């Protein structure tokens, strides 16, 4: 049986992980402690563009569709994976995803947070299979940084290498 590497799967989907952007504050994008890796909140920024512009802005359910929100969550996850790769050097060192937290910029009447954050969860499972399954929080927020539609952070466990 041939094992397909995570970056090969990403490439087959037309996704190339680029060098992640630097933090815009006094925090670290990734913290490793023991076998756990904590990835700071990621916004839906196209890190391949020359400007670090938010690709999905506004409130999901008002300015953006649920489908747009799901794409925003997926883009946040791609950015988080770029930071993980930068920290671990190889995404195949990930043993499993432990927890994903998803924040959706929306009005008080919006109730489809889980569906929006499925854009991130489903993508991790598509890439990592059972290792991509995780515990999760999906909540609505009255605002997010830079009017971002979604913010994602997660905790992963890695193999010592």
Three-state SS annotation for 64-96:
ECHHHHHHHHHHHHHHHHHHHHHHHCCHHHEEE
CATH number at residue 82: 3.30.1330.40
Range of the domain at 84: 33-45+53-158
Contact of 150 with 44, CB cutoff 8 Å: yes
Which residues make Cβ contacts (< 8 Å) with residue 103, sequence separation at least 6? 41, 139, 140, 141, 144, 150, 151, 152
Answer whether residue 110 is part of any domain. yes
Each residue's pLDDT tens digit, 89-142: 999 999 999 999 999 999 999 999 999 999 999 999 999 999 999 999 999 999
Answer whether residue 6 is part of any domain. no
The backbone torsions φ and ψ at residue 106, rounded to the nearest 5 degrees and listed phi first, read -160, 170
Token code pair at residue 153: 């952070």
Average pLDDT over residues 47-65: 87
Answer whether residue 121 is part of any domain. yes
Answer whether residue 109 is part of any domain. yes
Note the pTM of the prediction, 2 decimals: 0.93
152 vs 129: CA distance, rounded Å: 19
Answer whether residue 60 is part of any domain. yes
Answer whether residue 75 is part of any domain. yes
Domain count, the chain: 1
**pLDDT band at 24; cut points 50, 70, 90:** confident
**pLDDT band at 53; cut points 50, 70, 90:** confident
Answer whether residue 124 is part of any domain. yes
């Amino acid at each position: 049986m041939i094992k397909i590497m995570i970056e090969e799967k990403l490439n087959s989907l037309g996704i190339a992980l680029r060098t992640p952007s630097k933090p815009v504050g006094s925090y670290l994008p990734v913290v490793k402690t023991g076998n756990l890796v904590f990835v700071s909140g990621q916004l839906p920024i196209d890190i391949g563009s020359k400007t670090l512009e938010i690709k999905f802005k506004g409130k999901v359910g008002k300015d953006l569709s649920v489908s747009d929100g799901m794409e925003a969550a997926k883009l946040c996850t791609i950015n988080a994976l770029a930071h993980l790769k930068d920290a671990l050097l190889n995404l195949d060192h990930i043993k499993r995803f432990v927890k994903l937290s998803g924040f959706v910029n929306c009005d008080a009447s919006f109730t489809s947070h889980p569906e929006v954050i499925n854009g991130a969860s489903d993508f991790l499972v598509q890439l990592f299979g059972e290792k991509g399954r995780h515990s999760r929080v999906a909540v609505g927020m009255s605002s997010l940084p830079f009017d971002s539609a979604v913010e994602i952070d997660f905790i992963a466990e890695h193999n010592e290498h």
